[in-house]
Homo-oligomer: A and B are copies of this chain.
Amino acid sequence: MAVAATVATIGEYVGQEVTLKGWIHTKREKGKIAFIVLRDGTGFIQVVLEQDRISPNEWEELREASLESSVIVRGLVKAEPRAPGGYEIQGLFFKAFHVTKDWPLGRKDHGVDFLMDNRHLWIRSRRQSAILRIRHTIETAMIEFLNKNGFYRFDAPIITAAACEGTTTLFEVDYHGDKAYLSQSGQLYAEAGALALGKVYTFGPAFRAEKSKTRRHLLEFWMIEPEAAWFEYEDNIQFQEQFVSYIVNAVLERNADDLKILDRPLEPLMRVKPPFPRITYTEAVELLGKNGFNVHWGDDLGAPEETFLSNYFDKPVFLTHFPAKIKAFYMQPDPENPEVVLAADLLAPEGYGEIIGGSQRIHDYELLRQKIREFGLKEEDYQWYLDLRRYGSVPHSGFGIGLERTVAWICKLEHIREAVPFPRMLHKLTP
């Protein structure tokens, strides 16, 4: 009896007969031998089928089966060092379940608009499926690490009454007559969660109705937001170092074949180990000035500045102690210099820029009220958030990591649209 196997675990079956169910990724015939690269979702493997070893019917089916036909193959697993994954199947049985006619993505030179319109098919390609398997590992590793460290998952609501950060980029929803918005961040809710459960994280979609079209922005993206009570600035930074290193290491260990498919250089990833370098905002402004950027203390750093800093270091780097005015109202001022806040963004290396934004949060009731007023926000919108400082307030910190930006960096993608199964961008709503 042949065992039902998958490409990902094929190494366990060397010398045995297995059944594989999948799709024809490529096919090449050479007289009485056919070479198929079969994909089954978990990976790609070469199957060698000789006319003399299968029935005439099977050979006929094989000849007719074109790219992306769904097929069932039985065969012997052989170690084959020259094969991409290290194994090969010597075919003993072939059956086409459904023969595909005119596979639309057969050419190599499709434009990106065409590929995006066929995203539901494009994800079957070698490169796109490798990215999505790596995305799975990143998501899994994030959850593993947070759970191991005693964090409880705490799902924040998506439809919300008030804005968390800014109001110009909100998607509006008609909530049975009430005006509501799609969440831009679960953080304020996560803070309530941290005071109830100690350490929590959200893991959900976030929305920004940005009008810009860049290679780093999606209108709908996924964000993971850990938040912990009795957790201060330095705890937060060190936790992020461990967290990001764990994720990168998980991909290196579990997705070696996928990284190879992407031609992703491994050295920059192998360097991702704590501690990460740190640079204050003030030092960064100075460094940028010396390198020809026209930035002044108090300016928000834009994409070119971020890219420069991200390329300047060969590891992820923390950019810290921003001017309070250019950051969110809830960030804890630095006791040594209240003009800056105990916040840090983590910039990925290789030019990828910000993947994490985090800070210690203000835990003093009066100070938070004052900041709400200073930032021109309405105190009545934040009554429940202020309650967290009225009742049993504690020092607490947290951060948000953008999933797609992390995927884009680890996979070294040119555009963030490939980091998610079905990207949502300006005027891109289907499929």
Residues of A within 8 A of B (CB): 6, 8, 21-23, 40-42, 68-70, 97-98, 100, 103-104, 118, 120-121, 123-124, 128-129, 132-133, 135-136, 139-140, 143, 147, 150, 152-162, 171-176, 178, 180, 182, 189, 192-199, 204-205, 207, 209, 211, 219-220, 222, 229-230, 363, 384-385, 387-388, 390-394, 420-422, 424, 426-427, 429-431
Residues from chain B with Cβ under 8 Å of A157 in the complex: 220, 421-422, 424
Cβ contact of A69, chosen from B211, B392, B429, B431, cutoff 8 A:
B392
Q: Closest residue to A228 on the B side, CB-wise?
A: B41
A98 and B158 contact, CB distance less than 8 A: no
Q: Closest residue to A205 on the B side, CB-wise?
A: B158
- Please, how many angstroms separate the alpha-carbon atoms of A162 and B211 in the complex? 22
B21 and A230 contact, CB distance less than 8 A: yes
A100 and B172 contact, CB distance less than 8 A: no
B132 and A154 contact, CB distance less than 8 A: yes
Q: Closest residue to A210 on the B side, CB-wise?
A: B176
B180 and A429 contact, CB distance less than 8 A: yes
Q: Closest residue to A363 on the B side, CB-wise?
A: B98
Residues from chain B with Cβ under 8 Å of A431 in the complex: 189, 192, 384
B198 and A41 contact, CB distance less than 8 A: yes
A68 and B100 contact, CB distance less than 8 A: no
Sample (8) of A-B pairs whose CB atoms are under 8 Å apart: A21-B230, A42-B150, A98-B393, A120-B385, A123-B192, A129-B196, A172-B174, A192-B431
Residues from chain B with Cβ under 8 Å of A150 in the complex: 6, 8, 42
CB distance from A168 to the nearest CB of B (A): 13
Residues from chain B with Cβ under 8 Å of A132 in the complex: 152, 154, 193, 196-197
